[in-house]
Structure 1
Amino acid sequence: MPDTASRWEPDPVLRALLFTDFDGLSAEPDDVIADALDGGYVERTQGLVTLLGDENADPAGRFLACCALASWADPIGYAAVVEAAAAPDELTWRGQTYDRFHSQDDTFAHLAEAVGRSRDMVDERGTAAERLEAARALIRIADRVRLDRRADDLLYPEIVSACRADLSAAVDRGIARLAAGAPLGFDLGVQLALFINALAESRPAWAADARQRLAAARPGDRALRELAESGGSSLRLM
């Protein structure tokens, strides 16, 4: 889970839901969310749904609630991801988490991770279609928000197969933004490279062209390394 400000403390409700394990001991949200996959999510879900829907609640708490619910393949969690992606710049709980190395907002990176890794729960919950729509919503804004390498969590075969057009459109928009020199504040190139590589098998001609276009847009060393590893070392030299 994300880092929060050093002085931030969860309120009693959030502490009980995501900072207390199933033995009643203090724990981190990551551990609580993972442990709940064995069935404990049932007793924590309603409290998190209430917290997520409370516009007066702590934004950090609402964000963590969304991550937990999406991780558990909950339809309300997935719906919240879709809603967040529909207006990312207006999201009240955006900016509650920052990458510790680059101090960049990674709200949507954590949502991508939650949606992608909920794969093992969708059969139990009957929410495969809702997961797909949440993934699609995030893919559609991947040229605008930071996903970084957590973009890879959206690239399971079933998502790639259903979202080919959305992935390629996001790449095309992202390359155009890079080529125009638009200020971004995050490494767009690396997540575009991951999308291109994911489509290489099903759309080889498009992927080869997209690699060349992305490399020409000077996407940064990390993206060039990603492209070179999958598409040929000559791309490093452009």
Structure 2
Amino acid sequence: MDAVITTSERSGSFLEVPYTVVPHGTDFEAFHPPRRSEDDFAASGLPGKYAVGCTGRIRHQKGTDLFVHAMLQLLPHYPDWTAVITGRTSPDNLSFERELKSRIAAAGLTQRIVFLGDVDDISLWYRRFTLFVAPSRQEGFGLTPLEAMASETAVVASDAGSYPSMIRPGINGTIVPAGDRDALVAAIEPYFLAPGLAKEQGRAALEFVHANFSIEAEARRIRAVYDRLWTEQEKPLSLSRKDQ
């Protein structure tokens, strides 16, 4: 290969060749702060005043069970909050999902920990969330926190994938060790206790993602790699033509 692009320094660290880091960007036309009444959580018809969301495929790798554990610990103490889980469940993970729903039912929280499945427009739900949680055990890059932040939503994320590059702890969210369910509970609770903190950090998250993770910036950085290659190739090509 003439050049290698990687989406993060962490990914690049596995390579033995030179590389250029170009992080993924976010489409701000699709993911944006609330604008209409349907963007309010109240429009969902679900109980509570505030929503905490977890999106992505329902599976162990994504930490769906860690999120459910945190909700089972916290929701009984914070009646104004409802947990919303979206994402597809593949056939090999149906038993995993059934076990989670069984635990939720046993705790009497079926109405407050809601599985929506694969929704048509996930951007709408990002706008309805007051807090977003990305509890993945492993990630390649991980776009969901950026999409949430572009929707003016604060984020609690694990340190998997590129998540640490997206979060400024105490400013636009919180980072916890991947797989540490107790740390996840401890990180989420301050937002449940003070929803205003989530809203404040959501505003900072919006500013941060616009400054650092636009899809236009991603395109420019990729184009720069091609421009460099074309410039390097022009010289030997022009010499070969002269020789002919």
Tell me the TM-score normalized by structure 1.
0.25
Please identify which structure carries the higher strand content: 2
Tell me the TM-score normalized by structure 2.
0.24
Q: Which has the higher contact order (CA 8 A, sep 6+)?
A: 2
Q: Which has the larger radius of gyration?
A: 2
Please identify which structure carries the higher helix content: 1
